[in-house]
Structure 1
Amino acid sequence: MMEQSRLVIYVLLLTSFLGYGQIQEKKALSQIMNIVEKNYNVKFSYSVNDVKNIFIEAPSNSLTITEIISYLNKNTLLNFELLNDRYITVSILNKTISICGIVTGNSNNDALFGASIVVLNTDKGTIANENGSFNLENVSANARILISYLGYKSQEFSAKDLFAKDNSCSTILLEEANLELNQILITKFLTTGLQKNIDGSTVLNTKKFGILPGLTEPDVLQSIQALPGIESTNESIANINVRGGTNDQNLMLWDHIKMYHSGHFFGLISAYNPNVTSKVIVTKNGTSSQYSDGVSSTISMFTNDNLTKKFSGGAGINLISGDAFLEIPITKQLELHVSGRRSFTDAFSTLTYENYFDRSFQDSDINTNSETIENSDTSSNFVFYDYTAKLLFDLNDKHSFRANFIGIKNELDYSESITDNFNKTNTKESSLSQDNLGFGGNWNAQWSNNFSTNLVSYYSQYNVDASDFRVETDQLLTQANEVLETGLKLNSFYKVNNYLTLLNGYQFNETGILNETTVTAPSYERTKKDVLLNHALYTEAEYHKGSTYARVGVRLNYFQKFSKLIVEPRINIRQKVGKGLALKLEGEFKNQSATQIVDFQDDFLGVENRRWILANEQSIPISTSKQGSFGVEYSENNLNIDVTGFYKKVEGITASNQGFYNNFQYLSATGNYKVKGIEFLANKTTNNYSAWVSYTYSINDYKFENFTPMVFPNNADIRHSVSMAVNYNVLENLKLSIGGIWRSGQPFTRPVEGNETVQDRNNTFVNYDTPNNENLESFKRLDVSLSYNFNISTKTPAILRAGIINLTNQKNTINRYYKVDPNNSNKTIQIDNLSLKITPNVSLRVKF
C-alpha cells in the first residue's frame, strides 16, 4: 500500500512538472497566432518571412484580444494593429529599438569594464561601465552589434538579440583569447584604447583609440609620450627618451621585424601608419626574456592578425598626407591587407607643413647656406611615404601563417645656385634619402591544448644615402649608412595548468652595418663594414593565480665574433595586498650591439647626423644595462594611482653616441650613465571624461673616466617633468581633449667667459666651460584636440579631428650650442634651436 502511494505521488509530481514546463515553453509566433485566430474569431494579415524564426511564450487564455495585441507588441519587434473587431495587421517596426546587456568574462564572470560595443557600419557605440552594463537607444532593429574586449574573443549579435524588453538585459559571456596569463589590468588608461597589462606594460589599441591633446591621428610614437618617464628632449619622436635613455636604446619591432627607422619629417611624425597598426605594447622594465637588444625599452607594434572574412577598408587625409588601407578576402582561409600613405606637400604647401619644415630644417644647410653665401639661392623639395602588405593564411584552427612587408621612405632634393661677378649662374643638385624595408613571416601552431609554438623570421634593411654638392667649393660629398639584419626566433609555450605557463626559445641574428664616405676635390674615400652573429637561448616561467602575478626568466646571449657570453636575468612580480592596492617589483639585465653615433663633421646635409655602427669590443663595446624598479599601485572606483621608483645603469656608451655640444664633441671615450628617479601618475576615468596628472623626477649623470670632470649631467637630464590633461565627451559623438606639458630645461655648456675661443694651428674652436653646467629655460606647451563622429551614409562612418600643438605659441628652446663668430675669431655666436610653433592640423577619415 505504501509503495502504491509513493507511485501516485511521483506521477502527480511528474505530471505537474510537465504541465509547468509546457506552460513555460516558447512556441513559434505563427503557431500562437493560429490559436488566437481560433479562440477569438480574428484574422491576422502578415508576411510569412516577417514572423518566421520568432519564438515567444504563449499569452494567457484569460487575456482580452486588446491585451493580447499589447502583449505581442511588447515581446516582439513587430507592430500588431487591430483594424476592427475582425482583422489584425502585422508589420515590421520601422522605428529604432533600445538594446542593453551585461558583458562578463567566461572564466570568472567578472564584469568587463571598458568592453567596446559598436553598431557596425555606423558611428554609434559605447563602452561597458564598471558593472559590465551598457545600453544604447535608437538602434536599428536590423543592425549588427560587435562586442569586443582586449584579451577576449569578439562576438557579433543582431540588435534583436539584445532588445531591451521588460527592463531585462542579456548577459554576454566573452571567451578568453589565447593570451595565456598576460591579462589586462586596467581597461581604460588615460583614454579609450590605452590599457595596462598586469606585467606593467602599456597597450595602445589604435582602432579603439580615443583622443589625446594636440593629436589628430593616434600617432604611435607621439601617443606613448603621454606615459610618465617617456618624453623627447628635442620634441622629436625620432629621439624618444625612456627613463633617460637615448632613442637608439629603444627596441622597435613591427610585426616581429626589427626596425632601424622611426620618423617621417626626420623625426616629427611617426613612420608607422597608425591606421594599420592595431596594437602597440610598450615595456619600460621587467621585459620578457624573449626580447633583448634594447637597453632602455621595448616598443612592439602589431597589425591586425585576424581574418576579417569581408572586404573593408578606409581612407584619410590631413594637412600633410593622405592614406588608405584595404582588407581583401581571397578565400575563406586566405586574406590580404594592404596600406599606403604619402605626403602631398610637394604638390602644394600648408601652414602645418611649413611649420614642420621650419622645425626640422632650421639648423641645416637648407636654411643656413642661403644666409651665409653671397649671391646664392636655394630651393628644396621634400616627400615621405610608407606602405605595408600582409598575407594571412589559416590552414585550420591549429595552424596559421602570416607574411609581412613594410616600406618607409623620406626623400629630400635640394638645389643651390650662385651667381658670380659675370652674372653667370652655377647650379648644383643635392639629395638625401632615408628608408627602411622589412620582410617577415611567422607560423603559429597549436599542437595540443597545452603546447604551442611560434616560429618567426625576418629581414630588415635600413639606408641613408646623401649626395651633397657644395657650390662654393665645387666639391661633391657622398655618404651612405646601411644596416642589413636577418633574424630567426622559435618560441615554445607549455601550459602546465591554468596558472603556470613555461616559455623556452632560441633566437639567431646576423647584423651587418656599412658606413661609407667619398669626397671629390680633393679625392678621399672611406668604407667600413662590420658583421656580427648573435645566438640566444632563453627560458621563462609565468604564474598568475588570484592576487599574485610573477614572471621570472633568464636569457643567454652568445656573440660568436668575440666568443662572449652575456647572462641576462629578468623578474616581474605583482602582488595584490588589499582592496585595490598592489605592490610591484621589476628588474632586468639587457644588452645592445648596434648603436647610433652622432657625427657633426660628416652629417647628411646638416639634417641627419646619426649613423648606425656595430660594437667591436675595443673602441665600441657592447652596451649593457641593469635596471630595477619598485612601485605601489592603487586601482578602485575608476581611480588609478601609480608611484614607481626606478634605478638604471647603462655601461658601454661612447662619447660619439651622446652628441655632445662641448669640448668632448670630437673625442673618443667609453663610459656609463646612471639614472634614478620616481614616477607618479593619477588617472580618474568615467564614461564621460578622463583626467590625469603625471610627474617624473630623475637625476641622470654621465661618468667618463678619461674626461675632466669625470661625472657631469646627462644630455637628457630632465629633473622635473609634469603633464596634465582631461578628455571630455561634450556630446555622444563630440570629444574634447586639452592638456599641457611643463619640464625643466635640458643641460647645455657655455663658453668660458672672457676666453670664448681657442686656436689650434690654423683652426679656431669654441672654448667650452664645465660640461652641461647650465640649463635651458623650462619647456612649456599647451595642446588641444576635438573629435567628431558622423555618418556619410548608413554604411560609411567618418571621423573629423582637429588639433593644435602649442596653442599659446610658446617659444621653447630645445637645444643651444655655440660656434665661432666668422667676423671675430675671439667671439662666439649662440645658436638656439626652437620647438614647433603653434601648429594646427585637421584630419578626416572614412571607413567602408
Structure 2
Amino acid sequence: MNKKELLSIIISLFFLNVAPLKAQELQKEKQPLINVLKLIETKYSISFSYADETIKDKTSTLPNDDLSLEEALAFLKAKTNLDFELLDNRFVVIKKPEIKKTSYNIQNLEEVIITNYLTSGITKLNDGSITIKPEIFGILPGLIEPDVLQTIQSLPGVLSADETVSNINVRGGTHDQNLILWDGIKMYQSGHFFGLISAFNPYTTKRVSVYKNGTRAKYGDGISSIIDMQLPDDIDNEFKAGLGFNLINADGFAKIPISSKTELQLSTRRSITDLINTSTYNQYFKRIFQDSDFTKPKNNTNSISQNESFYFYDVTAKFLYDISEKDKLRFHFLNVKNNLNYDEQSTINDKDEALNSKLTQRNTAIDFTYTRNWNDDLSTTSQIYVSNYDLDATNFDILNNQRLIQENEVYDGSAKMDINYKPNTLIKINGGYQFTEVGISNLEDVNNPIFRSYIKEVIRSHSIYGETNFLSNNAKTRLNLGGRLNYIKKFDMFFAEPRLSFSQRFLNHFRFEVLGEFKSQTTSQIIDLQNDFLGIEKRRWVLSNNNNIPVLKSKQLSAGIHFNKNKLLVSAEGYIKKADGITTRSQGFQNQYQFINAIGSYKIKGIDVLLNKQFNNIISSWISYSYSTNNYTFNDLNNGESFPNNADIQHAITFAGTYTNNNIKLAIGLNWHSGKPTTEPSETDDAEDSVITYEKPNSKNLDDYLRADCSATYAFNISDTAKATIGASVWNVLNKRNIINTYYTLDDNDMVNKVENESLGITPNVSFRVNF
C-alpha cells in the first residue's frame, strides 16, 4: 500500500470516527480553557467575558453533560482556580481570585458581545470596535494567511473598489483617511506589491483594533477609520518561531527570551518573485502594472525589450525589557520596501540605447516606549517615535531624450504621554498629551527642458485629550465620553473633537448602540498626473496649507441594534458622515475635473446589515448587505450641485461560509457590489477641438462587480514541538472579468480611446508553514 492510499484511508476513517472519538476524548483529556469555554457557551447559551491574560495557559477537562450551569461553573472553578461570576443567567465573567477588589471590571475587561464574528479570531466589543487576533484566526474565503488589511475588508462598510490594501474605502472615505498604526507608530505605506499584499507581518501581530466610528479620544487623524495593530507586549520566557512560504513570498519570525526580564521579537519577509516565476505572480504583475509607464512602452514599436526586476521585503524587531515589576521599556524597529527596476531598450537612428527606470517605496520607523505602573489604579506610558516614508521614481523617456526624477518624502515625529486611572471599580479615566511634527517634501526634476521644483511643508501640532469610561456592574451599560483638542501653531487654529460611544443591553439578547465623533487631519494624498511615479503609485502625501489644501474635518453619527442568541447574530447599523476640506486632486478624478483644483466636501448616508449563524463552533455562515449614497459638493464645480462620489458604491453584498473541524478549515464566499461611478464622453463631443467633452460627472456606472473565492488549510504535527500547516486558495474562482476603472484619452488623431482597468483574474495560491 503506497502513501497516497494510506492517506486516503486515514482521512476517510477520520471523518467517520471523529465525532464519537472526539466526544469521548474531550471528556477525559485536558485541553486549553478557551476551547472548553466555546463548547460550554454553545451548550448553555451563555457568553463568557474575560481578559486574555486571565485564561492564558489555563487548561481543563470538560464538565459532565448532566451538570447544571451552576455546577459546571463550580467544576471549572475547581479545575482552573479562577472565579466564574454569573450575570443575568446569560453572561459569565471570569476573573482571578487573588485580586482583592470584587468587581470584575477591575481587570480592564472590554466586554465581548460577539465572539467568532464571521470567523474565529474576530470579535466585536461593546465600544463599537472590532478586534482581530491573527494567532487564533480561522479562515476567510480567498485567504490562507491572516492578512490584516485583507481581513478587515470582510467587515460590513469596508471595501476596496480596486481590490488593493492600499485603497481601502471605509464608509465612503479614501485610503489616506484611514489612520494605520503599528504598535502606536503611524504608517504611511500599507502595502507590498504596490497594494496587493499587506505590508505588515500577521504572525508577529497579537491584536488589531478597528474603529469605524466612536473612536477613542487618544487617537488623532484618521477621519474615516482607525486600524491599530499591536504586537505582543508581555515577556513569557517562551521561545516561539515560524517559517513559511507561498507563491509570492517567504517569511520567518522568532520570539526569543534572552533572560527573565528581556525578550527579542524578530520577523522578516521577502518576495520570491525575482527568483521564481509563478502563476500568482503573473496575475499580480498583470493587475498592478497595467496601464502604467512600465507597460505602455511595449506598445511602441521603437521599444524592443524590457528586463524588469521587482521585489519587496519587510523587517521588524521589538526588544522588551522589564526593568522592574512596575517599569517596562520597549524598543521598535520596522522597515518595509517595494523595489522595481526595468530597462527600456530602443533603437533610434540605427543606434541601440538602454536606460534604467526605477521605482522605490519605503517606510521606516523607530520607537521607544516606557510604561510605569505606579499602583493598581494608575499607570503612565511615554512614547517617542519617528516614521519616515519615501517614494522615489526615476523615469527615462528614450524617444524624447528626457529623464524625470520624482520624490515624495514624509518625516513624522511624535512624543506622547498617556495616563490611565481607575478611581473606582466602575469608572476608568484615560488622558494625555501628544506633540507631533510632520514634514513632507515633494521633488520634481526634469533634464529636458531643465526644470526643478522642491517644496517642503512642516506642521507642528499639540493635542490634549481625555476620556471617561463607565461600565455598569451588570455589564448592561457602557458609556465612553471624551474629547480631543488639537492646536496647530502654524495656522493658529484649534480643533475640538468630541467622542461618544454608548452601548445598552436589554431583553438579555438585544443591544442598542450609539457612536459619534468629530475628527480632523492634516495629511492627505493627492494625484497631480496619472503618470506620476511611473503611473504605478500615483499618489503623493501632502500637508494642509490652510489655503488650497485645507485641514480635513469630519463628523459622524451612527446608531445600531444587535440581536445575539444561540449563535445567531442579526445586526443593523445606520450612519451619516460628512467630511469637509477635500480637494479634487485627492479624489483621483479622470474626467473633466482631472486638472482642476477645487475644495469641497462629501456626505454619505448608509446602513450595514449582517446576518451571521454559527453551528456548533464548526460552521459559520453569513450574509451582509450595505446600502449607501455618497455625494460630492464642490461650490465651483457642476454649478454647485452635488454629484456621486468616485467611491459611491451604493449596494454591496457578501455571502460566505466557513467550516472548521479540528485541523481542517474550509471557506467559500461570493462578493458582489454595484459598479462604481464613471463619466462618459458626450455624444456631441467635437473631434476637432483636441478636448474631450464629457457628460455630467459620474452620471453613469460601471458594470456590477462579482467575485467568488475559496480557500482551505490543513494543520498537522511534525513532532512534539513543531506543527505544520498547508493551504490553498483561489481568488476569483469563476475567472470573472470585472472592470474596476474606466477613463478616456485622445490619440494622435484626436480620436477618443476608452481605457479599461481589469481586476485580478483567477489567481491560485498555495502555502506551507511550520511553527515551533
Calculate the TM-score normalised by the size of structure 2. Answer: 0.89
Pairs within 5 Å for 1:158-177: 170-171=76-77, 172=80, 173=82, 175=95
Partner residue in 1 for 2:562: 633
Separation (CA, whole Å) in 2 of partners of 1:116 and 1:97: 10
Match for residue 566 of structure 1 among 483, 491, 495: 495
1:795: Cα distance to partner? 1.4
Find the structure with the greater CA-based Rg: 1
Aligned-partner SS, 1:793? coil
C-alpha spacing 1:581/1:561, structure 2 compared with 1 (3 Å): same
Partner residue in 2 for 1:480: 407
1:723: Cα distance to partner? 0.3
Aligned-partner SS, 1:605? helix
1:584: Cα distance to partner? 0.7
Partner residue in 2 for 1:836: 760
**Does residue 794 in structure 1 map to residue 720 in structure 2?**
yes
C-alpha spacing 1:514/1:375, structure 2 compared with 1 (3 Å): closer
Separation (CA, whole Å) in 1 of partners of 2:346 and 2:443: 29
C-alpha spacing 1:102/1:735, structure 2 compared with 1 (3 Å): closer
Single out whichever of 589-598 and 150-159 deviates more from structure 2: 150-159
Partner amino acid, structure 2, of 1:638: K
Partner residue in 1 for 2:683: 753
Q: In the alignment, is the contact (CA less than 8 A) between 1:97 and 1:163 conserved in 2?
A: no
Partner residue in 1 for 2:583: 654
Q: In the alignment, is the contact (CA less than 8 A) between 2:502 and 2:513 conserved in 1?
A: yes
Moved over 4 A (4+): 95-98, 100-104, 131-134, 147-150, 161-170, 176-179
Q: In the alignment, is the contact (CA less than 8 A) between 1:103 and 1:132 conserved in 2?
A: no
1:103: Cα distance to partner? 9.1
Match for residue 271 of structure 1 among 164, 186, 199: 199
User: Which residues of structure 1 form unaligned runs of 5+?
Assistant: 1-94, 105-114, 118-125, 135-146
Partner residue in 2 for 1:813: 739
C-alpha spacing 1:648/1:354, structure 2 compared with 1 (3 Å): same
Partner residue in 2 for 1:296: 224
C-alpha spacing 1:127/1:632, structure 2 compared with 1 (3 Å): closer
Separation (CA, whole Å) in 2 of partners of 1:617 and 1:163: 65
1:346: Cα distance to partner? 0.2
Pairs within 5 Å for 1:121-520: 127-130=38-41, 151-156=52-57, 170-171=76-77, 172=80, 173=82, 175=95, 180-422=108-350, 424-520=351-447
1:668: Cα distance to partner? 1.0
**Does residue 723 in structure 1 map to residue 624 in structure 2?**
no
Separation (CA, whole Å) in 1 of partners of 2:65 and 2:658: 34
Partner residue in 1 for 2:600: 671
Aligned-partner SS, 2:277? coil
Q: In the alignment, is the contact (CA less than 8 A) between 2:50 and 2:95 conserved in 1?
A: no
User: Which residues of structure 2 form unaligned runs of 5+?
Assistant: 1-23, 83-93, 97-104
1:543: Cα distance to partner? 0.4
Separation (CA, whole Å) in 2 of partners of 1:288 and 1:757: 55
Separation (CA, whole Å) in 2 of partners of 1:170 and 1:601: 62
Q: In the alignment, is the contact (CA less than 8 A) between 1:582 and 1:634 conserved in 2?
A: yes
Q: In the alignment, is the contact (CA less than 8 A) between 1:152 and 1:175 conserved in 2?
A: no
Partner amino acid, structure 1, of 2:755: I
**Does residue 688 in structure 1 map to residue 618 in structure 2?**
yes
Q: Deviations over 1:7-63 (max 9, x none)?
A: xxxxxxxxxxxxxxxxxxxxxxxxxxxxxxxxxxxxxxxxxxxxxxxxxxxxxxxxx
C-alpha spacing 1:601/1:847, structure 2 compared with 1 (3 Å): closer
Partner amino acid, structure 1, of 2:180: M
Q: In the alignment, is the contact (CA less than 8 A) between 1:148 and 1:154 conserved in 2?
A: no
1:752: Cα distance to partner? 1.1
C-alpha spacing 1:542/1:181, structure 2 compared with 1 (3 Å): farther
Calculate the TM-score normalised by the size of structure 1. Answer: 0.81
Pairs within 5 Å for 1:585-624: 585-600=514-529, 603-624=532-553
1:709: Cα distance to partner? 3.9
Separation (CA, whole Å) in 2 of partners of 1:778 and 1:310: 50
Separation (CA, whole Å) in 2 of partners of 1:132 and 1:480: 60
Separation (CA, whole Å) in 1 of partners of 2:31 and 2:347: 76
Partner residue in 2 for 1:522: 449
Separation (CA, whole Å) in 1 of partners of 2:64 and 2:576: 54
Partner residue in 2 for 1:19: none
Separation (CA, whole Å) in 2 of partners of 1:581 and 1:178: 25
1:698: Cα distance to partner? 0.2
Separation (CA, whole Å) in 2 of partners of 1:467 and 1:757: 35
Q: Deviations over 1:51-95 (max 9, x none)?
A: xxxxxxxxxxxxxxxxxxxxxxxxxxxxxxxxxxxxxxxxxxxx9
Q: In the alignment, is the contact (CA less than 8 A) between 2:249 and 2:273 conserved in 1?
A: yes
C-alpha spacing 1:166/1:691, structure 2 compared with 1 (3 Å): closer
Partner residue in 2 for 1:769: 695
Separation (CA, whole Å) in 2 of partners of 1:570 and 1:672: 21
Q: In the alignment, is the contact (CA less than 8 A) between 2:292 and 2:531 conserved in 1?
A: no
1:99: Cα distance to partner? 3.6
1:181: Cα distance to partner? 4.7
Pairs within 5 Å for 1:12-23: none
Partner amino acid, structure 2, of 1:243: R
Separation (CA, whole Å) in 2 of partners of 1:668 and 1:479: 21
Partner amino acid, structure 2, of 1:772: N
1:641: Cα distance to partner? 1.3
Partner residue in 2 for 1:63: none
C-alpha spacing 1:742/1:163, structure 2 compared with 1 (3 Å): closer
Identity across aligned pairs (percent)? Answer: 42
